[in-house]
Amino acid sequence: MAERLYCGVDLGGTNIKAGVVRAADRCQLSEVTLETGRELQPEVVVGKLIDAARQAVAKAGATLEQITGIGIGSPGPLSHKRGVVFQMANFKHWRHQPLVQAVSEATGRPTTLENDGNAAAWGEFWAGAGRDVDSLVMLTLGTGVGGGIVLDGRLIRGGRENGAELGHMIVQACGRPCSCGQSGCLETYASAWKLSLNFVEQLANGAESSLRASWQAGAQITSKQIAEAASAGDPLAQRIWNEACHYLAIGCVNIARICNPDRILLAGGLINAGEKLLLEPVRRQFAIEDWKLVCEGMELAPEIRFASLGPNAGVIGAAGAVELAIEEGTIKV
C-alpha cells in the first residue's frame, strides 16, 4: 500500500499557508505561503488557495493523485458537514462559499473543512504538544483569542458546528466591550491586539510609561514591546500584562471546570514572551483561582504549557483533519 500523504491548507486574512504531511510519521514535507487580501473577491481567494495546495504538493515531490485528501482550516462561522464558509471578518465579500466543493472539483481530491482554531488544536493533538495525552484544550493568543477542544481523542465542534469559541467566554461581568457584541470576553483582555489597545488607552488617560515617548512620536505600541517593558520593570506595562495573565488564568479555570482536559495549551504570538513572563504567572494565578475540592491522591488540575508546532499548527492540523475525516467516514479511501 502506498504511503498516505495529506495536504493541509490554513486560510488566513493575511496569508494562505499550505503543506503536505506524511501520515506515517506526521512529518511536514513542504511549505508554501501566498498573500491574501481583504478586498479580494471570493473566487480570487479560492483560486489562491487551490494554487497554494498545488504548489505544496509539487514542492513535496508528489502529484495530486498521490494525495489522499486535502484539509482546510478556515475562520468561521462555517459548516464542517456542508463544507461551506458562511462569512469571514477578514474577507468582506465572503458569503456562503462552498469551499469544499470548489477545492475538490479543482483538484480531484477528497476535501474536508474545519474551523481554523479546531484545526490548530487537532494539529497539536495529532502531532505536537498533545500527542501523548487523550484530551487537550488550546488557546491561541494572537490578534484575537481562538481555540479548540479535543476530548477523549475526539474533536469537539460544538452545537451547530460552531462551538469552542473560547476567546468569547466571559471572564469579567460588565467588562470591556468586545467586537463580537458581548462584554468582558477573554479576547478583550488577553489578545495581542487588545493588550496593545488597553495599554494605549491608559497612555491617553495620562498614565506614565517608558513607552510614552515612542507613542507620542506616532509609533504603534505592540504586545511585544509591552512584554519587554514589563520585563524591564515598567509599572504600566506590568499592570496591563499581569491583568492579561490574570484573565488567562480565569479562562483556564473555566476550561478545567467544563472540560477538565489533561492539558491546556497556550499558542500564538503572545507566547513568545516566554515561560517566565507568561506561563509561570498564568500557572500561579490558576492555582489561586482553581477550586479546592480535591481530595488527596486526586489528580484533577490540567497541565498548562506552551504548544509546540508554532505557525505550522494550522497546516499540520488541517492535514491531520483528513485522517480524522477518514476515521469519521466522511472521506472514503
pLDDT digits (tens, 9 = 90+) for 206-256: 999 999 999 999 999 999 999 999 999 999 999 999 999 999 999 999 999
- pLDDT of 250: 98
Residue 13: predicted pLDDT: 82
Which pLDDT band holds residue 40 (cuts at 50, 70, 90)?
Answer: confident
Any domain includes 142: yes
For residue 119, give the nearest of 318, 311, 328, 310 by alpha carbon. Answer: 318
**Pair 295, 193 in one domain:** yes
pTM above threshold 0.85:
yes
> Do 291 and 278 share a structural domain?
yes
The confidence score (pLDDT) of residue 2 equals 75
Q: Assess contact for 163 and 150: CB atoms under 8 A.
A: no
CATH of the domain at 91: 3.30.420.40
Closest listed residue to residue 285, CA positions, set 256, 254, 242, 255: 242
pLDDT tens digit string along 151-166? 999 999 998 888 899 9
State the pLDDT confidence band at 298, using cuts at 50, 70 and 90: low
Burial class (CB in 10 A: 0-12, 13-18, 19+), 291: exposed
| pLDDT tens digits along 44-58 | 999 999 999 999 999
In this predicted structure, the answer to whether residue 299 has a pLDDT above a threshold of 80 is no
**169 and 77 part of one domain:** no
Instruction: Select from 81, 44, 249 the least CA-distant residue to 157.
Output: 81
What confidence tens digit (pLDDT) does each residue in 62-104 have? 999 999 999 999 988 999 999 999 988 777 788 999 999 999 9
Residue 180, classified by CB atoms within 10 Å of its CB into exposed (0-12), middle (13-18) or buried (19+), is middle
- The percentage of residues in the chain with a pLDDT greater than 90, rounded to a whole number, is 86
pLDDT at residue 1 tops 60: no
Range of the domain at 94: 5-124+311-328
Same domain, 194 and 73: no
Q: What share of the chain is helix, strand, coil (3-state, %, to 5)?
A: 45, 20, 35
Do 141 and 290 belong together in one domain? yes
Three-state DSSP class for residue 305: strand
Question: Would you say residue 200 has pLDDT above 70?
Answer: yes
Same domain, 279 and 299: yes
pLDDT of 162: 87
* Same-domain check for residues 218 and 286: yes
Cα 13 to Cα 134: distance, rounded to the nearest angstrom:
32
Tell whether 83 and 185 lie within a shared domain. Answer: no
Residues 114, 153 within the same domain: no
Q: Averaged over 20-32, what is the pLDDT?
A: 98
Ranges of H-type helices in the chain: 42-59, 99-107, 116-127, 187-190, 192-204, 212-216, 223-231, 235-258, 280-289, 313-328
Whether residues 9 and 21 share a domain: the answer is yes
When the pLDDT of each residue in the chain is averaged and rounded to a whole number, the result is 94
Residue 129 domain-assigned (yes or no): no
Residue 189 and residue 50 share a domain: no
In a domain, 333, yes or no: no
What total number of domains does the chain contain?
Answer: 2
Q: Are residues 180 and 285 in the same domain?
A: yes
Residue 237 lies in a domain: yes
Write down the pLDDT at residue 76. Answer: 82
> pLDDT value at position 294?
67
